[in-house]
Structure 1
Amino acid sequence: MQDIFDKEAVLKKLGARIKSLRIEKGYSSYEYFAYEHNISRAQFGRYERGEDLRFSTLVKIVAAFDMTFEKFFSEGFESSTEENSAT
């Protein structure tokens, strides 16, 4: 199965993107970001590690970053084919 359709791989990419954006926003601690945006701190840590999350939670996280879904998914979700052709 292609990497882009591998649930575990996609969740890892999603977690990495969430963590990257949190750090970009100036939050060194995921706990403080989660607290400030009314998201369970324990769950938010799991999301950054690539564990499964509900769509409604993803909507809340994207809104907390003050961005559109297009912008959120514009980086970090390239398929293996695209990544290999870029190198």
Structure 2
Amino acid sequence: MEFYLVVSKNSFLVLYSMATSNDYNEIDLEIEKKKIGIRFRQIRKDLGYTSHEAFAYDHDLDRSQYGKIETGKFNLTLRVLVRALNAIKYSFSEFFNEEYDSIEVDN
């Protein structure tokens, strides 16, 4: 962790830290696929859908593919991810937010 000293116009001192490369944890593809699936499932249920198939059908998504997304067994392309985000009307920042970061996945 690196610390910096900042002086403002009013001579207030502020300390803040910035993450360094030592603080980086390698991203695990399988864990992220599961987290994405869990997040889509949470949002689908929040939208009132009990079935991934009904949701996919109503939003013109491939039902089998969407089911695999929710189970974390699908390697998402950017195209598929954007289609799914458009279906739930979420931006990247809305989807990959604190709720996403707090999802716990068993290895």
TM-score range, shorter chain: 0.7 to 0.9
Q: Which has the higher contact order (CA 8 A, sep 6+)?
A: 1
Unmatched tracts of structure 1, length 5 or more:
81-87
Unmatched tracts of structure 2, length 5 or more:
1-24
What stretches of structure 1 move > 3 A for 4+ residues in a row?
Answer: none
Q: Please give the secondary structure, in 2, of the residue aligned with 1:58.
A: helix
Q: Structure 1, residues 29-86: CA drift from partner, whole Å, max 9, x if none?
A: 1001101111110111100000211111110111111121100111223498xxxxxx
Which residue number corresponds to residue 77 of structure 1? Answer: 101
CA distance in 2, matches of 1:41, 1:67: 19
Cα 1:35–1:9 shift into 2, 3 Å: same
Which residue number corresponds to residue 33 of structure 2? Answer: 11
Superposed, 1:55-70 pairs within 5 Å as: 55-70=78-93
Identity %: 36
